[in-house]
A and B are shown apart, each in its own frame.
Chain A
Amino acid sequence: MATTQAENTVTTYPTASGGTVSSTVPVGAVYAESSALNWGASLVEGAVVLDDTVASNAPWSAVVKKGHVLTIVDVGGNQSADCLIYNADDPEERYSVPDTLAWQGNAYVRTGTVLHSSEGRPLMTVVANEIDRQDTIGGACGKESNSLRYGHHVMFHHGCRENFLAEAARHGLGVRDLVSNLNWFMNVPVEADGALGIVDGMSAPGRRVAVRAETDVLVLVSNCPQMNNPCNDFNPTPLRMIVVDPQSPASPGSPDSGSPQSAQHPSTPEGAA
Chain B
Amino acid sequence: MTTAEGPTATAPHGPHPTDQPTAVHEQQPTGQAPASARELHLTDSVRSARDDARAQGGQASDWMPYLPASGSPHRPPGVDPAALVWAETVAPGGYTHKVLARGTRLRFDDPTGDACAHLLLFNALEPVERLNVADTQKIPWQAYLGENHPLLSGDGRVMAVITGDSSGRHDAFCGTTTDAWNERKYGDARPEGPSPSGRGLLVKAAAKHGLSRRDLPPGVSFFQGVRVAADGTLAWQGGAGPGTHVELVAELPLLVLVANVAHPLDPRPDYVVGPLRVHAWRGTPTGPGAPRFTATPELHRAYLNTVDYCEARGL
Contact = CB atoms under 8 A, between A and B. Distances in A.
Contacts of B19: 255
A11 B31 CA distance: 9
A93 B183 CA distance: 33
A207 to B, nearest CB: 16
A23 interface: yes
A29 B63 CA distance: 17
Contacts, number: 300
Contacts of A119: none
Interface stretch (A98-106, A125-133, A191-199): A191-199
Contact of A151 (B24, B34, B56): B56
A234 B17 CA distance: 25
A163 interface: yes
A179 interface: no
Interface residues of B, number: 100
A89 interface: no
A11 to B, nearest CB: 7
A165 B203 CA distance: 8
Contact of A153 (B61, B76, B94, B189): B61
A240 B37 CA distance: 24
Contact of B191 (A3, A162, A235): A162
Interface residues of A, number: 87
Pick from A29, A156, A166, A228 the residue with the most CB of B within 10 Å.
Answer: A156
Contact of A25 (B28, B38, B93, B109): B93
Contacts of A175: 207-208, 210
A26 interface: yes
Interface in A8-30: 8, 10-11, 13-30
B38 to A, nearest CB: 4
A90 interface: no
B200 to A, nearest CB: 6
A150 B194 contact: no
Nearest to A163: B192
- Sorted from nearest, which 5 A-B pairs have the closest CB atoms? A25-B93, A15-B187, A15-B188, A32-B35, A4-B242
Interface of A: 1-8, 10-11, 13-35, 37, 39, 51-60, 147, 149-156, 158, 162-163, 165-166, 168-169, 172, 174-176, 189, 191, 195-200, 225, 227-230, 233-236, 238, 240, 242, 255-256
